[in-house]
Structure 1
Amino acid sequence: MENSLKEEFLRSQFEKEKNNAFSLFDLEKFSLQHLKKAGVEEAELDARLLLQEAFSLDTKDYLLLKREPIARGESMNSGQFYDDLERNVPFSLALYFSFLEKRIARVPLSQILGRQEFFGLSFFVNENVLSPRQDTECIIERILEEEKYRKRQDDPMLCRKEKDVNGEEGRRAGIEEGDNLSVLDLCTGSGCIGLTLAKNLKCKTMLLLDKSGKALEVAKENYRRIFLEQKETIKTVVGDGFEERRKEASVYFLESDLFESLPLFMEEHGISGFDLLVSNPPYIKRDVIETLDAEVSLHEPVLALDGGKDGLDFYRRIAKEGKHFLLPGARVYVEIGYDQGARVKDIFQKEGFFYVEVFQDYEGRDRGVRGTFL
C-alpha cells in the first residue's frame, strides 16, 4: 500500500488540470472519502489534525492557508508535476500519507500523533498503553474535590474521626488539606492518572505500578516530559524500582502483577502505607474485546483491557488485597464500566470498605467507585 494513496491523489490532481497546484483543502477532500469508507467516525477532524501535524501548522494557520496552493510547476505533464511536488514539499506530503494510511487501518489518532491531551497535560502514548480518555478526568476531579474540602469535619465521606485520649472526637493526623500524600496508582499505563495527581496535589510519595514493563517505560517518559523543568535531582534505585526525586516528592515506578512485588518494595523504601489508591484497571469482559471498535480491539494492548470473564477480576483483587497496603482513613478510587457500578460497589462493601459510592462522568454515566478504608 506504500505510496498508493499518494500516487492516487497526485493523479487525481493532474487530471483536473489545475496548473500543477493543489492545496491542503484538496488533500482534505481526498482524504475524507477514504476515512469515511474505513469507518472513521470523526473523519473531518482527524484529517485536519493529521494535516496540521504533517505540515507543522496550528489551527489558525491551517484555516488561513488551507485553500492556498502548496505546489506549482510550469509543465502540465504528470512527470513534471510530480517532480515539482517532490522538490517543494516532499517530506510533509510523504509524512501525511503515511499518517493517513495508518488512520485508514484504524490505528488510533493518538498513537499516530504520539500524544493525547488529558486534564490540561500532554501525554506521550504508543501501542503499549491505552490512550488517556476524557471520561477518566472525572476520577481526577473527584479526588481533587474531596482533598480540597477534607477540613469539613461534619462530612464522614471526606474525613475520618477518631477519639483522642480524652474521648473527644478529632480528625486523624496526616490528612489535613495540603498535607503531603502517599499515592498508589495501580495499572498506571501511560501514568496519566498518577502524574496528573502529582501535578495537582502535594504528594510525598507517588508510586506508579504496572504489570507491563513497556507501559512503565511510557510512564517514565511522561514523567520526564511533564516534570523535567521542575526537577531538582534525579536518582535511580537499583532493583525493580525506578525513582526520580522532585523537591520533597518521590515518584517511583514498579513493575508488578498488582500487589505481588509491593511488600518488598515498600519495605526497601520505607513506605508504611498509602493515603490514596487509584486505578483504571482492565474491566472489559474477555469475550467482548473483539467486538470493540477497531481502534481498541486491534491496536490497544489486550493486557490493559481484559478484566476476566465478567470484567470484575481486578476489582476483587484490589478490594481484597489492596486494604493491606492502606493507611487508616485511606481513600480508594477506581474507574469502572458504565454498567458495573452496583457490582463493584458491592465488592468493596463486602471487603469492609466504608462510604462506598458510585459516581458519574460528564455524560451522566457511572464511571467510578470510591470507598474509605477505616
Structure 2
Amino acid sequence: MQWSYDTLLKWGTDELTAHSVDNASVDAWYLLEHIYGISRVDFLIRRNDPFDEVQMKQSADYQALIRRRSEGYPVQYLTGSTEFMGLPFFVNESVLIPRQDTEVLVETALAMMKPECRLLDMCTGSGCILLSLAKLGTVAEGIGVDISEGALKVAERNRENLGLPQVRLVHSNLFESVEGVFDMIVSNPPYIPTEDIEDLMREVRDHEPHLALDGSKDGLLFYRKLAEESGRYLVPGGSLLFEIGYDQGGAVSQLLDQAGFKDIHVKKDLAGLDRVVYAVKAAEDGGK
C-alpha cells in the first residue's frame, strides 16, 4: 500500500479505536510525530503527499508502535518522553509516568519555597518533582532519593537534560543513606493499597513499576515511615509535602499530627479530590 501521512494517521487512529484505546486520535498523532518528527503545520501542508522509500520504511516502525499501543503499552514509554510542568522528561519502564495531578504538589511546594532552599525528594522516580522545583524554584541544593537503581538512571538523564548541577541523586532505602537537614521534603511515595493494584487501568497495572505503586495493605506504609522519620531531617519550621490518594487526606494528616507536625493542610486537585497534604515542623522552642 502507498501510504501518506493522512492515510497512515487514519489507519493508526482506526486501529487504536478498534482496540478501545482512550484518546486514540491523540495517541496516533503522538506516535506519528515521534516516528517522522513532523509538526502539525508540516502535516497539514504535506498530508496527502505519497511517501518516498524512506518514509515507507518508517511506516513499518509506526505500525509496530501502534500495535504495541493497541495492546495497552503506554504511549509515553513508546516515545520515551512526556511533559510535566511544561518541561520535557525522559521516561521508561523503570519509573511511573508523571501525571498532571502531581503538578499540584509542585505548585504547592513552589508557593512555600524560601530562597536558597535545601530540598529533598523522597522516592524521586523520574525526578519530575525534584527537577521541576529546581528548574522553576529557588533551590540551592536538591537531593533525589530512590531505592530503584533503574529509576535513578532515568532521573540522572533528566537532570543532565535540564542542566541542573545543584541536584544530585542518592541510592537509598528511604533515609538510610541520607545526610544533612533540609528546608523542605517532598514525596510522591507508593500509596496504592496492594489489593487495589489489580483494578488499575491496564496501562498502569501491566506496565508501570509495582515497586512505585504498592503502598502495602492500606496504602499508608510509606506515609507512616516518612512521618516518623522526616522530622530529623528538617530544620525547625521546615516543610513536608506529600502527594496522596483521593481518600487518604484524613489518615495522612493524622499521621503527621501524631509525629508532631503543625499547620497541617490538605489541598485538592482540579477535580476537587484530595491530592496534597503539607505540614510544618514545629520550632524547637515550641514556636515561642
> 2:100 is matched with which residue?
134
What SS does the aligned partner of 1:206 have?
A: strand
Which of 1 and 2 has greater Rg?
1
**Structure 2 residue matching 1:130: 3-state secondary structure:** coil
Identity of aligned residues (%): 40
Partner in structure 2 of residue 277 of structure 1: 185
The match for 2:285 is none
Q: Which residue of 1 aligns with 2:254?
A: 346
Shift of 1:29: 2.3
How far, CA to CA, are the matches of 1:39 and 1:208 in structure 2? 37
Match among 29, 32, 37 for residue 18 of structure 2: 37
* Aligned-pair CA distance for 1:226: 0.5
Q: Map 1:210-359; keep pairs closer than 5 Å.
A: 210-227=146-163, 246=165, 250-262=166-178, 266=179, 271=180, 273-359=181-267
Q: Distance in 2 between matches of 1:32 and 1:276?
A: 45
d(CA) in 1 for partners of 2:242, 2:184: 11
Contact 1:52 1:62 in 2 (8 A): no
1:180-199 map, 5 Å? 180-199=116-135
Structure 2 unmatched ranges of 5 or more:
283-288
Residue deviations 1:28-65 (CA, integer Å, cap 9, x gap): 22222321232210001101111121111012212332
Equivalent in the alignment of 1:95: 61
2:39 matched to which residue of 1? 58
Once the two structures are TM-superposed, the CA of residue 343 in structure 1 deviates from its matched residue by: 1.2
Unmatched runs of 5 consecutive residues or more in structure 1: 1-9, 11-20, 72-86, 148-176, 232-245
Matched, 1:209 2:145: yes
Give the Cα separation in 1 of the matches to 2:86 and 2:246.
24
CA contact (8 A) 2:3 2:56 kept: no
Residue equivalent to 1:7: none
2:152 maps to amino acid:
L
**Residue type at the aligned position of 2:220:** L
Farther-moved stretch of structure 1 (197-206 vs 324-333): 197-206
Of the structure 1 ranges 105-114 and 58-67, higher mean CA displacement relative to structure 2 is found in: 58-67
Q: Distance in 2 between matches of 1:33 and 1:202?
A: 46
Structure 1 CA distance, aligned partners of 2:112 and 2:56? 53
SS for the counterpart of 2:126 is coil
Structure-2 separation of matches of 1:308 and 1:285: 5
Aligned residue runs from structure 1 range 12-23, under 5 A: 21-23=2-4
DSSP-derived class of the 1:67 partner: coil
Task: Give the Cα–Cα distance (whole angstroms) in 2 for the partners of residues 140 and 278 of structure 1.
Answer: 9
Aligned length: 282
Inter-partner Cα distance in structure 2 for 1:251 and 1:278: 14
The alpha-carbon deviation at position 344 of structure 1 amounts to 1.1
RMSD across aligned C-alpha pairs, in angstroms?
Answer: 1.4
Tell me, in whole angstroms, the C-alpha distance in 2 between the residues paired with 1:336 and 1:69.
50
The answer on whether the counterparts of 2:12 and 2:63 sit within 8 Å (CA) in structure 1 is no
Residue 46 in 1 paired to residue 12 in 2? no
Q: Deviations over 1:137-158 (max 9, x none)?
A: 11111111223xxxxxxxxxxx
Does the 8 A contact of 1:132 with 1:192 survive in 2? yes
* TM superposition score normalised by structure 1: 0.73
- Following superposition, the deviation at residue 88 of structure 1 comes to 4.2
- Report the alpha carbon displacement of residue 314 of structure 1 after superposing the two structures with TM: 0.6
* Distance apart, 1:261 and its partner CA: 2.1
Q: Secondary structure at the match of 1:208?
A: strand
Task: Quote how far apart the aligned CAs of 1:91 are.
Answer: 3.5
Instruction: State whether residues 274 and 326 of structure 1, in contact with CA within 8 Å, keep that contact through their aligned partners in structure 2.
Output: yes
Q: Helix, strand or coil: the match of 1:194?
A: helix
CA deviations over 1:278-333 (Å, ceiling 9, x no partner): 00100101011121111100110000000000111110111011111111011011
